[in-house]
Structure 1
Amino acid sequence: MNILIADDDPQLLRALRITLTAKGYDVLTAADGAEAVSLAADHRPELVLLDLGMPRLDGVEVIQAIRGWSEAPILVVSGRAGADDKVEALDAGADDYVVKPFSIEELLARIRALTRRQAGQEPAPIVRFGTVTINLAAHTAIEATAGGEQRIRLTPTEWQIMELLIRNAGKLVTRQMLLSRIWGTEHARDTGYLRLYLSQLRKKLEPDPSSPRYLLTEPGMGYRLQLDA
């Protein structure tokens, strides 16, 4: 597997390159954001490890650039531990977030989880509910209107939530499952994240967000996507 590591700390870059190479990975390194984007475009890595605080382009800008043409997993490895930084990175398209300092065992476990998830993805379905059609493969959400069709913009995190709900349509998806899959196990109790995002999704997808018909809350447990019969 080809991994790109982008960080402006030369000692950390060297340590990660040595460790991951010893584990059998092919490693590319970048010391700033612009170099990271260039290497990603030229070599198409299968996974990206990325710091947020880098010169020339910061980590969020790198994520946005890579997400313009690649679905490769992006694992943020950053000293920024604030919830706002994590949400911004995940919304930009990152798949996971590890806070420095970290153990190499945790980092390797996160890499394995991301690569398993990538390799084991099932065919992406197309679902319709109300006037909305969502195509997971094409990453499109379209609403049928009297004048034709209107595209609905979802953030990367909203897409992750919808994918979990769609792949489990009609079934309860627990809050813990959503939180751990999207934000990591350390956030399995941060239910405020979910309330915020579900509220936003209902505004975008429900005919009446105050009385949802499709994105349903199961009190005290989680959420369910209820499709039309």
Structure 2
Amino acid sequence: MLKILVVEDNPELAQAYRLALSQRGHDVQIEGTGAGGARAAIADEPDVVLLDLMLPDIDGFSVCRHIRQDSDVPIIMLTARDDDGDVIGGLDSGADDYVVKPVSPGVLEARIRAVMRSRRPATADPEAATALEYGGLRVDLASPVVTRDGVELELSPNELRLLMALLEHQGQVLSREQLLEQAWGSADVPDLRLVNAAVQRLRLKIEEDPADPQLLHTVRGFGYRLG
């Protein structure tokens, strides 16, 4: 059972989420405003937050950024707006996933399972490497702290997992489906734009010139490669 916080101002839709998720054994809390959702996400320590983009007081992007100041709770952004700019904005504000409404209860449950799987810590291995490095990039696996040429970078959880997947497969081309599996915990998540948007944001943080990337390359028709 998960403790799920739903931040949704439409009472009928909020109750539909509550019913669907409660029937699957989850404990569901509803907040109808952005301010209330931000407070509950920090004070009540839910396992996952379902966050509507369009709220009456504060938009979901702002709520997500506010939560990220104090909490690393998995956040799935829910919206009726199917736009690349909104996907990028949601991921850039710290969301782990972005779901376009309407969404079936089964798909919503699958997306929740995916973000929860992606947050599970790896099994400790005493002989495993303590850091991943390439081209001035370094991920300290014990922290994990990411630096470029010794300067610490601030990455979202998905950006971090994406970078680690690419570092673990340096020189190899990874498809978008493979990166979904690595960074989001499931290749069944249908929206490959999540990968494209996360790569775009990651380049802004790790490349000297994101318009002319020297580290993270696009292999057209196949996917992405580090190195």
Fold match by TM threshold 0.5 = yes
Please name the residue that 2:94 is paired with: 93
Alpha-carbon distance between aligned partners in 1 of 2:173 and 2:4, rounded to the nearest angstrom: 35
SS of the equivalent of 2:207 reads helix
**What is the one-letter code of the residue matched to 2:226?**
L
Q: 1:72 to 1:143 in 2, by over 3 A?
A: same
What is the correspondence of 1:56-205 to structure 2 with a 5 Å cutoff? 56-119=57-120, 121=122, 126-135=131-140, 138=143, 140-144=145-149, 149-154=150-155, 158-178=159-179, 185-188=189-192, 193=197, 196-197=200-201, 200=204, 203-204=207-208
Residue identity in the other structure for 2:78? V
Gap runs ≥5 in structure 2 = none
Measure the CA separation in 1 of the matches of 2:84 and 2:56.
Answer: 22
Describe the shift of the 1:102–1:125 C-alpha distance in structure 2 as closer, same or farther (beyond 3 A): farther
Determine the structure 1 residue equivalent to 2:5: 4
When the two structures are superposed, what TM-score results if normalisation uses the length of structure 2? Answer: 0.78
- d(CA) in 1 for partners of 2:76 and 2:225? 28
Q: Which amino acid is the alignment partner of residue 6 of structure 2?
A: I
Partner of 1:23: 24
Cα distance between partner residues in 1 of 2:157 and 2:121 = 20
Give, as a single letter, the amino acid of the residue that structure 1 aligns with 2:83.
G
2:47–2:73 Cα contact (<8 Å) kept: yes
Which residue type is aligned with residue 56 of structure 2?
Answer: P
Partner of 1:41: 42
| Offset, 1:58 | 1.3
Task: Tell me the CA shift for residue 219 of structure 1.
Answer: 5.4
- Alignment TM-score, normalising by the size of structure 1: 0.78
Q: What amino acid does structure 2 have at the position aligned with 1:130?
A: G
Percent identity of the aligned residues?
32
> Which is higher, the Rg of structure 1 or of structure 2?
1
Q: CA deviation at 1:97?
A: 1.4
User: What is the CA deviation profile of residues 177-207 of structure 1, one whole-angstrom value per residue up to 9, with x for unaligned ones?
Assistant: 336756984443798647745753562499x
Q: How many residues align?
A: 219
Deviates more, 1:132-141 or 1:110-119: 132-141
Rate the CA distance shift 1:67–1:136 in 2: closer, same or farther, 3 A.
farther
SS at match of 1:119: coil
Shift in alpha-carbon separation, 1:198–1:75, aligned structure 2, 3 A: closer
Q: Which has the higher contact order (CA 8 A, sep 6+)?
A: 2
Q: Assess, with a 3 A threshold, how the Cα gap between structure 1 residues 80 and 21 changes in structure 2: closer, same or farther.
A: same
Matched-pair contact (CA < 8 Å) for 2:132–2:164 = no
**Shift of the alpha carbon at 1:94?**
0.9
Is the Cα contact below 8 Å between 2:87 and 2:194 reproduced in 1? no
1:29 to partner: Cα distance: 0.9
Q: Distance in 2 between matches of 1:10 and 1:142?
A: 44
Structure-2 separation of matches of 1:197 and 1:158? 8
Counterpart code for 1:58: D
5+ long unaligned stretches in structure 1: none
CA contact (8 A) 1:96 1:184 kept: no
1:61-81 deviation per Cα after TM superposition (whole angstroms, max 9, x unaligned): 111112223222111111111
User: What is the root-mean-square deviation of aligned Cα atoms in Å?
Assistant: 3.3
